[in-house]
Structure 1
């Protein structure tokens, strides 16, 4: 008899500012585990109470004031919590846990990279490329059943963006970012779950800019949020969805949650 497990990931752009929609999501969709990015809150101020009332009583939190921050909230026990600081700069961009079955879950927030794709004039872009390099080194050490999810801030494929031609020189879809993400994927032999369920020829987005007056009708999105697994978990994944409806909720994040259902 198999056990179903649903794991979701969402860049929430401040968990306290958008607590209402996170609670709504948990009530309506009830994933077993929710990985959050850009929580923008210190560990001691993370709003555990409302989540506990909804049945999420297990937490792995790596926060900092005002910027970045990641968290895993769960209905099931979390063990062996790890917080990696690949660039040794104190930025809260990773938290990892272990769940039953010896499965590791890693939740990551890769730097956005600023506006200009030039390391000589944009230190944020340089940081992003360096971060990807450090993650690639880490991926080479991965062993056992592992899931990697979060906001990668890169849309690698032609149909992961609304216009490949117009965004080729825009941060998140530049050739150097795509190449580095491919190296990261190869280093861990990671499987991109979304594209296991949605063909590469079909448009697929998880992010729509706040700048768009009518984001839904324009649909100028990018697939910045990802869920990857090691090959030994590939066949356990039964579905993968983007919950686009959350982008239209009150005071939304510019990202939509992604969720994969597994049968173990």
Structure 2
């Protein structure tokens, strides 16, 4: 089985339904994982997605914030969602394909503005979330699995526009990178994007604050596709659809793609 998978923080699936439909029609991924849907599951606009062949959905939703969904042309089985750090947020959902591959869709907390848990509760929640992910992977090491989503951390120096300038900025601080690395190591996860594109600046997010995001190009790679080491060699054709950041009423994230032969 060969399938193309995409992950995209859509920043409101109802508000940005037109560009989701554009992506599905233009790129035709077999599976699209969305984060920050900002919608109860029953209000996700499924009719348009179904008209393009996406008959299967597994999701967790909330009104106005968070929310994760997996849209698929391929049959899916809902295999649960975990409320890491007991935040009461819809930030994780998992689904299994008929070939036994499990797909985990994550939306890790952003962490607020100050990288100090003593003065910023949200930063502490982010670190706790990552710690519980790590512990869960230690207890039940994943196999034949793919993990995608907005992990809200750019781990490598070339995953940000300026490493030194961002060392004290939430999403690239050493403590966050260490926590993400510990979770990755615990699960034996392989970064498929960097397996395919090992060198060079690579971004999936550009701030709305930039007057001309494209010219400024002050991006960060916050969105990831990982696979367990038992299937990581099956991943290929990774790319980030930068153009989508410039579509009408865009998300501040761009979709990330990979193809798997399993």
Task: Establish whether TM, by shorter chain, passes 0.5.
Answer: yes
Contact 2:192 2:236 in 1 (8 A): no
Q: Distance in 2 between matches of 1:143 and 1:117?
A: 30
The question of 1:232 aligning with 2:251 is answered no
The question of 1:20 aligning with 2:18 is answered yes
Q: Where does residue 123 of structure 2 map in the other structure? A: 125
Q: CA deviation at 1:130?
A: 0.4
Greater CA deviation, 164-173 or 80-89?
A: 80-89
Q: Where does residue 155 of structure 1 map in the other structure? A: 154
- Stretches of structure 2 that go unaligned for 5 or more consecutive residues are none
Q: CA deviation at 1:238?
A: 2.1
Q: CA deviation at 1:235?
A: 1.2
Q: CA deviation at 1:9?
A: 0.3
Q: CA deviation at 1:63?
A: 0.2
Q: CA deviation at 1:139?
A: 1.5
Mapping of residues 127-206 of structure 1, within 5 Å: 127-140=125-138, 141-200=140-199, 202-206=200-204
Q: Secondary structure at the residue paired with 1:92?
A: coil
Q: Structure 2-normalised TM-score?
A: 0.98
Q: Where does residue 211 of structure 1 map in the other structure? A: 209
Q: Distance in 2 between matches of 1:181 and 1:75?
A: 31
Q: CA deviation at 1:76?
A: 0.6
For residues 19-72 of structure 1, the C-alpha deviation after alignment (integer angstroms, 9 at most, x for no partner) is 000000000000000000000000111111111111100000100000100000
- Stretches of structure 1 that go unaligned for 5 or more consecutive residues are none
Q: Distance in 1 between matches of 2:126 and 2:68?
A: 17
For residues 81-118 of structure 1, the C-alpha deviation after alignment (integer angstroms, 9 at most, x for no partner) is 31111222320000000002210000000000000001
Contact 1:246 1:256 in 2 (8 A): yes
Match of 2:100 among 79, 99, 102: 102
Q: Secondary structure at the residue paired with 2:208?
A: coil
Q: Distance in 1 between matches of 2:20 and 2:76?
A: 20
Mapping of residues 80-95 of structure 1, within 5 Å: 80-95=78-93
Contact 2:208 2:252 in 1 (8 A): yes
Runs of 4+ in structure 1 displaced over 6 angstroms? none
For residues 120-169 of structure 1, the C-alpha deviation after alignment (integer angstroms, 9 at most, x for no partner) is 11000000000000111111213320100000000000000000010000
The question of 1:45 aligning with 2:43 is answered yes
Match of 1:114 among 112, 117, 123: 112
Q: Distance in 1 between matches of 2:130 and 2:142?
A: 19
Q: Secondary structure at the residue paired with 1:134?
A: helix
Q: Number of paired residues? A: 261
Q: Secondary structure at the residue paired with 2:128?
A: helix
Contact 1:60 1:81 in 2 (8 A): no
